[in-house]
């Protein structure tokens, strides 16, 4: 039997809404819309036969998956899928100067310079290294329906690693809060079946978030 891995981004936080950089150093909670998104996701997928939940160690993923945890779904936390560290930018309102520095860093990654970093944060090589360990864990798990909750930049890199494409392509993978990716693990490789699936938000009539 093939293994299915459902990877969802956390729900919206107030920092998301206000344009404040989070990364992994700021452990924020979901705002009201984020809680609504999380509930919409749960209502849409509550009957899927999940047998394992994996989240990052950050609160916003735990709160997004709260209803599944409350149901008793076996749950493990992995810091390997925490959001990238944006260093001294974390916890600060994004300014034009910060956005320019961010764009420059991402452009460097897109050109293959994975050692570029934003301030004293992580570079793409460091992010890829820890996420690669997580992909190895996923391949080894015996469960057949695995639900994973992670973060925006981490998920972009994770998608590349799972699909075995260069990580400079990670910006092609874009997702809303609680956007879902569905991967099928078949004959030793992952296949992407759904990308940024937000039908649960559409069904609940929720406005799209970032």
**99-125 per-position pLDDT tens digit:** 999 999 999 999 999 999 998 999 999
Q: In the prediction, which pLDDT does 208 show?
A: 62
210 belongs to a structural domain: no
58 belongs to a structural domain: yes
pLDDT (tens digit per residue) in 48-86: 999 999 999 999 999 999 999 999 999 999 999 999 999
pLDDT (tens digit per residue) in 135-168: 999 999 999 999 999 999 999 999 999 999 999 9
CA distance 57 to 198: 24
Length of the chain in terms of residues written? 210
Mean pLDDT of the residues in the chain: 96
pLDDT (tens digit per residue) in 177-209: 999 999 999 999 999 999 999 999 999 999 664
CB atoms within 10 A of CB 199: 11
Q: In the prediction, which pLDDT does 183 show?
A: 99
> What CATH number should be reported for the domain holding residue 34?
3.40.50.1240
Q: In the prediction, which pLDDT does 209 show?
A: 45
192 belongs to a structural domain: yes
Question: Are the beta carbons of 118 and 150 closer than 8 angstroms?
Answer: no
Tokens of 78: 């992995």
Residue 29: pLDDT over 60: yes
Report the SS3 class of residue 8. strand
CA distance 73 to 110: 38
Q: In the prediction, which pLDDT does 197 show?
A: 98
Total domains in the chain come to 1
What does the pLDDT average to over 20-39?
A: 96
CA distance 16 to 37: 13
Write the CA distances from 147 to 4, 56, 180, 210, integer angstroms. 9, 12, 10, 21
Full domain range(s) for residue 8: 3-204
209 belongs to a structural domain: no
Residue 1: pLDDT over 90: no
Q: Which pTM was predicted?
A: 0.96
Q: What is the 3-state secondary structure (H, E, C) of 144-157?
A: CEEEEEECHHHHHH
């Amino acid at each position: 039997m093939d293994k299915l891995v459902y990877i969802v981004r956390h729900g919206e936080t107030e920092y998301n809404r206000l344009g404040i950089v989070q990364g992994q150093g700021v452990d924020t909670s979901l705002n009201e819309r984020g809680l609504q998104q999380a509930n919409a996701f749960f209502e849409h997928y509550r009957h899927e036969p999940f047998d394992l939940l994996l989240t990052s160690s950050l609160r916003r993923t735990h709160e997004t998956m709260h209803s599944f945890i409350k149901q008793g779904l076996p749950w493990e936390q992995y810091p390997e899928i925490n959001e990238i560290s944006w260093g001294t930018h974390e916890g600060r309102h994004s300014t034009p100067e910060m956005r320019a520095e961010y764009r420059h860093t991402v452009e460097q990654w897109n050109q293959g310079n994975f050692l570029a970093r934003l301030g004293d944060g992580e570079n793409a090589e460091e992010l890829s290294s820890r996420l690669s360990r997580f992909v190895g864990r996923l391949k080894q798990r015996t469960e057949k329906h695995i639900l994973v909750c992670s973060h925006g930049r981490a998920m972009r890199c994770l998608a590349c690693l799972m699909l075995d494409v260069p990580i400079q392509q990670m910006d092609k993978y874009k997702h809303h809060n609680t956007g879902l990716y569905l991967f099928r693990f078949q004959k030793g490789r992952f296949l992407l079946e759904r990308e940024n699936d937000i039908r649960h938000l559409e069904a609940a009539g929720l406005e799209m978030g970032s």
